[in-house]
Structures are given as C-alpha cells and as structure tokens.
Chains A and B, each alone.
Chain A
Amino acid sequence: MEIENVTLRFGGVTALKDVSFDILEGEICAIIGPNGAGKSSMLNVINGFYHPDEGQIRFRGEHRPTLPPYRIAHMGIARTFQNIALFRGMTTLDNVMTGRVTRMRPNLMKSMLWWGSAEREESENREFVERIIDFLEIQSIRKTLVGRLPYGLQKRVELGRALAAEPSLLLLDEPMAGMNVEEKEDMSRFILDVNDEFGTTIALIEHDMGVVMDISDRVVVMDYGRKIADGPPDEVRNNQTVIDAYLGVQHD
C-alpha cells in the first residue's frame, strides 16, 4: 500500500499534511508520534472512514477510488480501535463471527429456513472462528457477553474480530494501551504470530517505545500532521528530528 501526499482537513484544522509513505507487503509497520500528531486520522484515511482532501491511496499498486468503509473492508483491510469498539450486546463468539461478514454470502430465503447452504456456511465459518479463538486463547469466554469482560480480554476479542476477516492488511490502533506488562507481552506475541503464521501485513499505532522498537520492521514518525521520519527502528531511534519532537528542542 502506498500513501501519496495525503492531506486531510476538518474545517480549518489540518489533521494531515502532505503525508506519504508505503506499507510493504508482509511487514510490521509502526506509526508513532506525540498525541494529536494525526496517527489515528492516518488509520482512518487508510480504512476509508475519512476521505483525504488531497493526495491518493494506492492499494496493491492501483489507485483506490473513494469508497464507503465497508467496501474497503471487503478489499481485505481490517482494524481494531483505540477505544474498544466491540459489539457490547453480543457474545465473544458472535463478535468474532461478525468479523467474518466479508467472507459470508447469506441468502435471505435459506437463512430464514436455516436450510442447506445457510447452515453449512454457518458451520464452516464457525470452524474457522474457533481456530482464531484457540489461537488467541479465549475459548473459555466464548459465550460471555463482551460487555462483561475485563479490558485486556476485550482488546484480545477485538483483535480476534479483525483476524476473522483474514485481512491482508491489519490496522491496530494502540493495541496495548492501558495494559500491564504481562498483557503487553501476550499481545506482542499475538501480533508477531499473526504476522508470521498468516503473513498478514500489519500497521500499528503504539506509544510504548520498547514494544515498537522490538516488534516492528519499520517505523513512521509523525508530528503535527506531518511525517518527520521513516525507516528501520534503529535508524529512527537516532534521528535528531524525532528526538526533538519527543523531548523538545532546547532553547538557550
């Protein structure tokens, strides 16, 4: 995926200014930056919730026209949210099954009668979803309403819902926010495993630098809606502009 000169404005506020970078197939790309740098807006542009005022998005080498978000989900882009956006009135299983929506083609008549292909499709997808549930180790909460789950588990269910779509590009918006060290380790392992086992390309936003430097192949740094650095973790770590953005410039 290539992001080319994307600019996004809300009224008078410019959230993103002429941002360009690529997300390469199979890599884990981290987007970091101080609060309000435009990271979440960037993800929202990538998955089509916001439409850029200027610039374009190229997906698999082709220009992507302006489409509603659900069409973009059908192209194989899934995501999780900064503030958990699970379907609170549904069970874990139903939440993850809903993630399969891009893979299911329900026929109204057959669903009404629960006949033939309807039941078969349901069972086949259930089987796939159960594999994800196993993978994320959330078997025991399969039939619990997600509204009742603790925060860390909710984040995991949300990841499961995104994975259920078998995405080619997975966007994670602060997957580790508010977690303790142990939970962060678990989550990091899941992210790496997903990348390894399914070959999923991952773009993630994260504030924990330790985690970011450990798991990502490439880091994009943003500040005030601009990209200020882009490269492998080590290179970014030593970049003067990045240090300035995070620690501030000394005025003497």
Chain B
Amino acid sequence: MLEQLLFGIEVALNGLMTGVLYALVALGFVLIFKASGVFNYAQGVMALFAALTLVGFQNGQIPFAHLINAVLGTNVHHFGWHLPALLSVVMALASMVLLAVIVERLMLKYLINQEPVILFMATIGLAYFLEGFGDMMWGSEVKKLDIGLPVGPSDSIESFTYDLFGYGFFIDRLDIVAAIVAALLVVTLTVFSQYSKIGRALRAVADDHQAALSVGISLRFIWVVVWSIAGFVALVAGIMWGAKSGVQFSLSLIALKALPVLMLGGFTSIPGAIVGGLIIGVGEKLFDFLLGPIIGGATENWFAYVLALLFLVFRPQGLFGERIIERV
C-alpha cells in the first residue's frame, strides 16, 4: 500500500515536470496573445521548427538537401562539420528572429485590425506552412538533440529518497533543469513586460492597434519583438522537449497540449500558464495512473482537453484570466 502511494507520488512528480514543459510552450502563447492579441496556434510548430533548426546547424546538415537532390540529381546531406552547442543555439535563435521578421513582413502586416478569429486561422495556416517547410528544410526523420544538458535519472535524489522513505524516486535530471529554466524565464519575462518601456508598448498594442499607432508606437517593430521573444521561448521549449523525446513531428502535437493549459490558466496570465501547466501535467499522469488500466489506457491523449472543456463551462475566463464584462 505504502509502495503504491509512493509510486503515485513519483508519478505525480514526473507529471509536475512534464507540466513544466507544457508551461514553457504555453508561455509563448501567452506572450504573443498579451502583446498582440494574436492567438498563435503555430507556437507548437515553432518549437518543433526551432529544435529542427538547432539540430540541423549542430550536425552541419545541408538545408533542403532532399529537394536539392531531387532537382539536381545530386546526393548531398551534410557539410561534414559539427558546431559547438552554444554556437548552434545562437544561430537557431537568430533564425527564429529572422522568422519573426518574415512573419511580420509577409503576414501580420496585412492583417492589422482584422478580427481575432481571422488572425487565429491565419496562424493555423502558418503552422501548416512551417511544418512543411521545416521538414522540407531538414528532413522528417526523428533526430536526436544533444547540447550537453544533463539527462538520465538523478542518482543523488534516488539515493537520498531511498534513505528517507526506503523508496528511490526516479526523476530525470533534465526535468530539473527544465524547471529551473522555466522559472528563470517567467521571472525575466514578467519583469520585462511590466517594467520596461518596450513592455509597456507591448501592452498598449495588445489593447488597441490603432490607439497604439496613434501615440507613435511602431506596431511592426513591436510585433517583430514579440514574435522574436516567442521564438526564443519556442527554442527553449524545443530544446527541452527535443532532449527528452527526440525531435520529431509529434513534438508539435505535444505542444498542442499547451492550448488546454492556457484555457485552464487564462490566456492573459503568465502565472496562469505555469499553474495550468502543472495542473495538467500532474492531472493527466495521475488520471492515467489511477483510471487508465480500467478504461483502456492512453487517456493522456484527451484528459487535458476534456478537463479544460469542463473547466471552461464553469469559469470561462480561466483560473487567472480577467473577468469578461460584456457591453453594448
């Protein structure tokens, strides 16, 4: 019985760590939503794209190798070098900034003052585009991501808890790193958006595009900034997920779970994204642990969504979201 309970606690702890990763992706959503009113469906795919690019740079892959081979009949794959991890991270980050600029130039610029729903659908289009583009550029096979982060079970925690409870907790060191990184990100971003000049401009833009323009805020610059930050968050999330489970298409599906996280936490709240992520991470693991065997398993596929749906019916603005007052 005690064994069971301790195992349950371990499951919950692992869920907590997964939750941190959900929260990381959700954070990117919240940022863009708060700053531009755009609900960026492509955030998950951006994480995938960032991870793909990172791995591609690091391994010296030739971009569009498959396409080049198909068109020219050549057989090229790699440049034959391996870049240091830090350099490739910087290069991947630069690519995400470039992506932000391109997205602004080719898409957002033309969608100023459109209804939020139209923007939302446009980002779904963007997600599709990026998915195809990323695969075309770097190939669609599963890749290993290794930039020297500690992985594998933490021996010290295991032996420490074994001494304490007579049961060694199995916790991945990567998860601990992820938790620390997430905490740092949240603090930095909160400080940035609340206290810096750009942060204030961001909030102005989110409130009303035209009003922000009329007081001299450059909408286009702000959008590039926001999307770059979101790209940065996506890169961080991509690295964590990628190191955990490899860089592959399913990464963007896992990232989709950030959506229910957001609904739980409220679209406008950074702490909400974190708490929502943790609730869903723990919730889905525990639910599957307790009820999965009875009802057939794999409940993680839908638990988050159904939870969010039920929750929304009773509290439409989420846990931390602002109350919606309707007016005529």
Does chain A touch chain B in the assembled complex, meaning CB atoms less than 8 Å apart? yes
Would you call A10 an interface residue if the criterion is a C-beta within 8 Å of the partner chain's C-beta atoms?
yes
Q: B123: shortest Cβ distance to chain A, in Å?
A: 22
Please tell me if the beta carbons of A85 and B328 are within 8 angstroms of each other in the complex: yes
User: Which residues of chain A are near B71, meaning CB under 8 Å?
Assistant: none
User: Which residues of chain B are near A81, meaning CB under 8 Å?
Assistant: 328
Q: Tell me the nearest residue of chain A to B328, going by C-beta.
A: A81
Would you call B1 an interface residue if the criterion is a C-beta within 8 Å of the partner chain's C-beta atoms?
no
Would you call A224 an interface residue if the criterion is a C-beta within 8 Å of the partner chain's C-beta atoms?
no
User: Which residues of chain A are near B325, meaning CB under 8 Å?
Assistant: 10
User: Which residues of chain B are near A10, meaning CB under 8 Å?
Assistant: 325
| Majority secondary structure of chain B interface residues (helix, strand, loop or mixed) | loop
**CA separation between A85 and B328, bound complex, in Å?**
8
Contact with A along B292-328 (1 / 0, CB 8 A): 0000000000000000000000000000000001001
**CA separation between A177 and B328, bound complex, in Å?**
16
**CA separation between A49 and B328, bound complex, in Å?**
9
User: Which residues of chain B are near A40, meaning CB under 8 Å?
Assistant: 328
Q: Tell me the nearest residue of chain B to A43, going by C-beta.
A: B328
**CA separation between A44 and B326, bound complex, in Å?**
12
Residues of chain A from 67 to 81 with CB closer than 8 A to chain B in the complex? 81
Q: Tell me the nearest residue of chain A to B323, going by C-beta.
A: A11
Residues of chain A from 27 to 51 with CB closer than 8 A to chain B in the complex? 40, 44, 49
**CA separation between A82 and B328, bound complex, in Å?**
8
Q: Tell me the nearest residue of chain A to B325, going by C-beta.
A: A10
Q: B42: shortest Cβ distance to chain A, in Å?
A: 27
**CA separation between A41 and B325, bound complex, in Å?**
13
Q: A117: shortest Cβ distance to chain B, in Å?
A: 34
User: Which residues of chain A are near B328, meaning CB under 8 Å?
Assistant: 40, 44, 49, 81-83, 85
**CA separation between A10 and B324, bound complex, in Å?**
12
Q: A207: shortest Cβ distance to chain B, in Å?
A: 18
Contact with B along A147-188 (1 / 0, CB 8 A): 000000000000000000000000000000000000000000
Q: A31: shortest Cβ distance to chain B, in Å?
A: 16
Residues of chain A from 58 to 104 with CB closer than 8 A to chain B in the complex? 81-83, 85
User: Which residues of chain B are near A85, meaning CB under 8 Å?
Assistant: 328
Q: Tell me the nearest residue of chain A to B326, going by C-beta.
A: A49
User: Which residues of chain B are near A82, meaning CB under 8 Å?
Assistant: 328
**CA separation between A40 and B325, bound complex, in Å?**
15
Residues of chain A from 135 to 156 with CB closer than 8 A to chain B in the complex? none
Q: B237: shortest Cβ distance to chain A, in Å?
A: 37
**CA separation between A189 and B325, bound complex, in Å?**
36
Contact with B along A189-230 (1 / 0, CB 8 A): 000000000000000000000000000000000000000000
Q: B261: shortest Cβ distance to chain A, in Å?
A: 29
Q: A113: shortest Cβ distance to chain B, in Å?
A: 32
**CA separation between A183 and B45, bound complex, in Å?**
53
Q: Tell me the nearest residue of chain B to A81, going by C-beta.
A: B328
User: Which residues of chain B are near A83, meaning CB under 8 Å?
Assistant: 328
**CA separation between A49 and B325, bound complex, in Å?**
12
**CA separation between A44 and B327, bound complex, in Å?**
9
Residues of chain A from 1 to 56 with CB closer than 8 A to chain B in the complex? 10, 40, 44, 49
**CA separation between A12 and B273, bound complex, in Å?**
29
**CA separation between A16 and B192, bound complex, in Å?**
40
User: Which residues of chain B are near A44, meaning CB under 8 Å?
Assistant: 328
Q: B121: shortest Cβ distance to chain A, in Å?
A: 16
**CA separation between A82 and B327, bound complex, in Å?**
11
Q: A38: shortest Cβ distance to chain B, in Å?
A: 13
**CA separation between A19 and B328, bound complex, in Å?**
21
Q: A87: shortest Cβ distance to chain B, in Å?
A: 14
**CA separation between A44 and B328, bound complex, in Å?**
8
**CA separation between A85 and B327, bound complex, in Å?**
12
Q: A39: shortest Cβ distance to chain B, in Å?
A: 13
Residues of chain B from 215 to 250 with CB closer than 8 A to chain A in the complex? none
Task: List residues of chain A with CB under 8 Å of any chain B CB.
Answer: 10, 40, 44, 49, 81-83, 85
Subset of 8 A-B contacts with CB under 8 Å: A10-B325, A40-B328, A44-B328, A49-B328, A81-B328, A82-B328, A83-B328, A85-B328
Contacts beyond the supplied A10-B325, A49-B328, A85-B328: 5 A-B pairs with Cβ under 8 Å: A40-B328, A44-B328, A81-B328, A82-B328, A83-B328
- Pairs A-B, 8 closest by C-beta atoms: A81-B328, A49-B328, A44-B328, A85-B328, A10-B325, A82-B328, A40-B328, A83-B328
